[in-house]
Amino acid sequence: MTYMPGQVRSIFPYIQRLIGTPNEIKLFLLGGPADGDEAQLFHEEFPNVYIMGFEPNRDFLRYQEANRFPDDLTSYALGDRCGIRDFFVMGEEGRSSRLVSDGRPSYQVQVVTIDYVLQDMANRPVALWIDIERAELEALHGAKESLARGQIKVIYLEAFAENYQSITEFLMPYGFHEVACANVHQTANADGTIQVHRFDAILVKE
């Protein structure tokens, strides 16, 4: 697996090589594009790819609407089933938000699955970008049909030490393997060992 230090932009040339194949990506789904930085980078690096963003955080949604990122933006959250769910806003100035409860303030949002989004676009090769605060595996469970028919080609997601193995085990039967990681957040322990907390992982379909 390739390790790419630095911030998110360092992975874009790598993704560009991945999608420059006969199965060229036509559609990006961004789960949790937040303040729009990732969506803007996708626009700059992949001007011919249509980008759909899913951002239930109201503050981030307003920011993206004002800046017209991405191409198609909704207030829906991505999950393992469609319906209404409680959405929790956490952290300083609400900059972290997710479907997983920790007792913080919440409001209700519409949740959709990736399969639901792609049901009328089954012939369009897709890449996923999922950064939704430990709900990444839940969103992937909502993509089983799309994964099974081979529509999803590249997955870029934020991974945490406690859930990454579950993610790779879930994706392995669909032919995905990890090829790179970036933006590693880690700390040094007193005994000199390194503890990895979270990182961004790229997985591709064989």
Is-contact 135 108, C-beta < 8 A?
no
In angstroms and rounded to an integer, the radius of gyration of the C-alpha atoms of the chain is: 16
Inter-residue contact 12 to 36 (CB < 8 Å): no
Q: What is the pLDDT of residue 94?
A: 40
164 or 38, greater pLDDT: 164
Check pLDDT > 50 for residue 96: no
- The residue with greater pLDDT, 100 or 136, is 136
Hey, where are the domains in the chain?
A: 2-205
Token pair of 125, please?
Answer: 């090769």
In CATH, what is the architecture of 2-205?
Answer: 3-Layer(aba) Sandwich (3.40)
Q: Residue range 107-111: average pLDDT?
A: 87
Q: Averaged over 165-174, what is the pLDDT? A: 95
* pLDDT tens column, 59-90: 776 766 666 565 787 888 899 999 998 877 65
Strand partners, 30: 53, 129
Residue 191 pLDDT greater than 90, yes or no:
no
